[in-house]
Amino acid sequence: MIKKFLFFSLVLSFGYTTSFAQTTKGASKLEDPDNLASQYFSQVMGVALDATSNVKLYKFIYEWIGTPYKYAGNTQKGIDCSAFTKAIYQKVFNTTIARNSRQIFSMVNPLAKTDLKEGDLVFFKIKSKNINHIGLYLGENKFAHASQTRGVVIDNLNDPYYSRYFYKGGQILDKAKKDLMEE
């Protein structure tokens, strides 16, 4: 509730100040609601957003921040990492993906950390030989995921813990999308 109040207060204050900042050359970028949202999410989440950023993605993640971790959970009362990633892909990208991180990895074109783009997936082998954790890359080495100890959060891939266990990034293959739509 407080997050929503702060969001709308910020939007209103930006809208109010920009109405005085108009010039004869045209409307300011601040008047664009998507740009306002980008600025807000950029400040709150610590991720630099630009005009090409997916505001729907950041809004979705923002609404889930703080949701507790629950193994096999898939609601805002508790969610695990693969269900969180599946929900993002369903709601934001209108794409259905598998339910667990190993199955999802079989649907991607593997990428190196340096090749990741907003919306790509990040896979981890945490104290295991198998993939057992997944998140969604946001840019600038930040990713959103459901942490077992902290719930839904945004973390940095360069954090020593995540850097140590990072396996690969991935982009959903078009073939995998088509196969799921046919099922």
Catalytic positions: 81, 133, 145
User: 96-104: which pairs have CB atoms within 8 A and are 24 or more residues apart?
Assistant: 96/180, 96/181, 97/172, 97/176, 97/180, 101/131, 101/132, 101/133, 101/134, 102/130, 102/131, 102/132, 104/134, 104/170
DSSP string, 72-112: T-EETTEE-HHHHHHHHHHHTT-----SSHHHHHTTEEEE-
Instruction: State how far the Cα of 8 lies from the Cα of 169, in Å rounded to an integer.
Output: 34
Contact 154, 61 (CB under 8 A): yes
